[in-house]
Amino acid sequence: MLTEGEHSVSARLRDLGSGTWESATEHPMVKEIAAGTLPHRSFRRYFEQNISYLEDYTRALAMVLSKAPDNEALEVLGRFLGQIITVELPTNRRFLQRLGGNPEEVRGVVTMEPTTYAYTRHLLATAALGDCAAGLAAVLPCQWSYGEIGARTAGAQPDDPIYADWIAVFGDPGYADLVSMSTGLLDRLAAPSRETFDRLQVIFEASTRYEVDFWDMAYGPSSASS
């Protein structure tokens, strides 16, 4: 499908949905985090939902890993999964505590907002029903967009340590390496056919749109004027 000199599959997926991608990575909530001006209640709402989201994201990613076709794919997806389990989930729970919340009160689908529920069902269904490439296309926009957000906000130095610490999680060079490995794996696994690319595009765009919806949900209608 790709001729010499053309973009990789992952880059084409992102570029074809560039409008949605920019809405996710340059969301007003992201800009307020970088500036340190986001109301704490909005960030707390984000973590209350993101913990439940990440728990199901982990389950979806585990299914993607189970379909890895070779050792290289197992290694990449294993690192991807390890980042969520050992770094992001514990970090999210600590952030919620710092903001006055109780991680023990976050109970999966019981406390999910409709956007969180819809996004996680999309991930779980795609990972369960699709092949490794399809599942990776579903989970990749979350990892990749946060890597881009981390790169864009790495130079920000908000006075509020909560926002500064969150930026540091995704601005770390090691996180960028994980994104590079994941995108490279998708490029390798994607079959060279128009049908495959079109299918991956639908999946990738849906996940990216859910990223925008998730930010919108956490930001709330009153945040901009608070």
Instruction: Convert the pLDDT of each residue in 157-184 to its tens digit.
Output: 999 999 999 999 999 899 999 999 999 9
**CA nearest neighbour of 137 among 185, 177, 181:** 185
Euclidean distance between CA atoms 158 and 36, whole angstroms: 5
Per-residue pLDDT tens over the stretch 50-80: 999 999 999 999 999 999 999 999 999 999 9
pLDDT at 52: 97
In angstroms, rounded to a whole number, what is the distance separating the alpha carbons of residues 52 and 54?
Answer: 6
- Average pLDDT of span 186-194: 94
Q: What average pLDDT score do residues 92-119 get?
A: 97
Q: Which residues contact 9 (CB under 8 A, 6 or more apart)?
A: 1, 2, 186, 187, 190, 197, 200
**What is the architecture, at CATH level 2, of domain 39-219?**
Up-down Bundle (1.20)
Helix residue ranges, H only, the chain: 9-16, 18-25, 28-35, 40-66, 71-82, 89-98, 114-129, 132-153, 161-171, 173-189, 194-219
Mean per-residue pLDDT over the chain, rounded:
94
Give me the mean pLDDT over the 103-112 stretch.
95
Task: Report how far residue 215's alpha carbon sits from residue 2's, in angstroms, rounded to the nearest whole number.
Answer: 33
Q: Does the predicted model carry a pTM greater than 0.85?
A: yes
Mean pLDDT calculated for residue range 146-161: 95
Q: What is the per-residue burial (b if ≥16 Cβ within 10 Å, else e) of 111-139? A: ebbebbbebbebbbebbeebbbbbbbbbb
Distance CA 20, CA 41 (A): 26
Distances (CA, A) of 13 to 7, 70, 137, 214: 9, 24, 9, 20
> Which residues neighbour 194 within 8 Å (Cβ) at sequence distance 6 or greater?
1
Rg (CA), the chain: 17
Return the percentage of the chain with pLDDT > 90, whole number: 92
**CA-to-CA separations, 215 to 33, 45, 47, 91, in angstroms, rounded:** 12, 10, 11, 18
> What are the phi and psi torsion angles at 176 (to 5°)?
-60, -35
pLDDT at 7: 80
